[in-house]
Amino acid sequence: MSSTQLNIVIMAAGKGTRMKSALPKVLHKLAGRSLLQHVLGMSERLGQARRIVITGHGAEQVETAVAAPGLSFVRQMPQLGTGHAVQQAVPALDDAAPVTLILNGDVPLIRAETAQALVEACAGGSKLALMTIELADPTGYGRIVRDAEGGVQAIVEHKDASPEQRQIREGYTGMMAAPTAALKRWLSQLTNDNAQGEYYLTDIVAMAVAEGLPVTGTLAPSETEVLGVNSPLQLSDLERRFQRQQAETLMEQQGLRLADPARFDLRGQLTVGPDVEIDVGCVFEGQVSLGEGVRIGAYCVIRNATIAAGARIHEFTHIDGEKPGGAKVGAGALIGPFARLRPGAELGDEVHIGNFVEVKNSTLAKGAKANHLAYLGDATVGERVNYGAGSITANYDGANKHRTVIGADVHVGSNCVLVAPVEIGAGATVGGGSTITKPVGAGELAVARGKQVAISGWARPVKKPK
pTM: 0.89
In this predicted structure, what is the pLDDT of residue 3? 44
The per-residue pLDDT for 347 is 98
Secondary structure in 3-state letters for the chain: CCCCCEEEEEEECCCCHHHCCCCCHHHCEECCEEHHHHHHHHHHCCCCCEEEEEEECEHHHHHHHHCCCCEEEEECCCCCCHHHHHHHHHHHCCCCCCEEEEEECCCCCCCHHHHHHHHHHCHHHCCEEEEEEECCCCCCCEEEEECCCCCEEEEECHHHCCCCHHHCCEEEEEEEEEEHHHHHHHHHCCCCCCCCCCCCHHHHHHHHHHHCCCEEEEECCCHHHHCCCCCHHHHHHHHHHHHHHHHHHHHHHHCCEECCHHHEEEEEEEEECCCCEECCCEEEEEEEEECCCCEECCCCEEEEEEECCCCEECCCCEEECCCCCCEEECCCCEECCCCEECCCCEECCCCEEEECCEEECCEECCCCEEEECCEEECEEECCCCEECCCCEEECECCCCECCEEECCCCEECCCCEEECCEEECCCCEECCCCEECCCECCCCEECCCCCCCCCCCCCCCCCCCC
Active site residue 57: no
pLDDT of residue 47: 87
- Among candidate residues 318, 372, 402, 411, the one labeled active-site is 372
For the chain, residues classed under CATH 3.90.550.10 are 6-226
* Predicted confidence (pLDDT) per residue in 92-129, tens digit: 999 999 999 999 999 999 999 999 999 999 999 999 99
* Fold adopted by 6-226: Spore Coat Polysaccharide Biosynthesis Protein SpsA; Chain A (3.90.550)
The pLDDT, as a whole number, for residue 139 is 84
Q: Which segments of the chain belong to CATH 2.160.10.10?
A: 232-446
Q: Which residues of the chain have pLDDT under 70?
A: 1-4
Residue-level pLDDT at 65 = 97
What pLDDT is attached to residue 1?
A: 39
Fold of 232-446: UDP N-Acetylglucosamine Acyltransferase; domain 1 (2.160.10)
